[in-house]
Amino acid sequence: NAGVTQTPKFRILKIGQSMTLQCAQDMNHNYMYWYRQDPGMGLKLIYYSVGAGITDKGEVPNGYNVSRSTTEDFPLRLELAAPSQTSVYFCASIGTGESYEQYFGPGTRLTVT
Amino acid sequence: KQEVTQIPAALSVPEGENLVLNCSFTDSAIYNLQWFRQDPGKGLTSLLLIQSSQREQTSGRLNASLDKSSGRSTLYIAASQPGDSATYLCAVIAGNQFYFGTGTSLTVIP
């Protein structure tokens, strides 16, 4: 299994541009999450999904959108990028067993200038 | 709202020392607690997961304990090594969401 994969690894955007961060998992996990991590601030939940076709907002959803058309993929869309969206973005998934152990992707480092 | 706190924010110890990292949470209605390690510029690697019905989990030199009633967890690292240098984060799951602490940055000095 590749686990949780994210693309791209790095990206620089100009203010007002849009982009999609890709996330995929090959473990047949139902639950998937998007977090952002700012220096010294811990991880903040942006959006999450409990299955294909079902998404919900987390703590910091403004400026982002998600979709979940398949179990494997959970893309995060940034519309009209702003400097405040400069951060490291992590995608994660949770298995369907009882433990709810969370698996993380390697992250996407985004800079908005 | 669940709040997760980790103390200390940074810790520096000489190689070989045993150490304890602390994690506290405000709402005891959690499903499980997970400890992660994060190396600079990297993603999170799961170290240990404790389900709410368990008191502790062990993996090699690592031992994590959970006291739900007091809202506390500790991560014990025995015989620390320079390769243990990293940021350690704890997270609790409640409902469908994980809540993360801000981490403890550990430096083990050779």
A47 has a chain B CB within 8 A of its CB: no
Is A43–B51 a contact, with Cβ atoms under 8 angstroms apart? no
Reported as a single tens digit per residue, the pLDDT across A18-66 is 999 999 999 999 999 999 999 877 899 999 999 999 999 998 999 999 9
Task: Render pLDDT for A55-104 as a digit per residue (tens, 0 to 9).
Answer: 999 989 999 999 999 999 999 999 899 999 999 999 999 876 666 788 99
**Mind listing the pLDDT tens digit for each residue in B77-107?**
999 999 999 999 999 988 778 899 999 999 9
- Chain A residues whose beta carbon lies within 8 Å of the beta carbon of residue B103: 42
Name, in order, each residue with C-beta under 8 angstroms of A62's C-beta and a sequence gap of 6 or more.
Answer: none
pLDDT for B28-76, tens place per residue? 888 899 999 999 888 899 999 998 889 999 999 999 999 999 999 999 9
Task: Pull the structure tokens for residue B23.
Answer: 């994690």
| A33 Cβ neighbours under 8 A, 6+ residues apart | A45, A47, A48, A49, A58, A91, A92, A93, A94, A102, B98
Partner B contacted by A33 (CB < 8 A)? yes
Q: Which of B17, B31, B34, B25 is nearest to B85 (CA)?
A: B17
Non-local (6+) Cβ contacts of A41 within 8 A are: B102
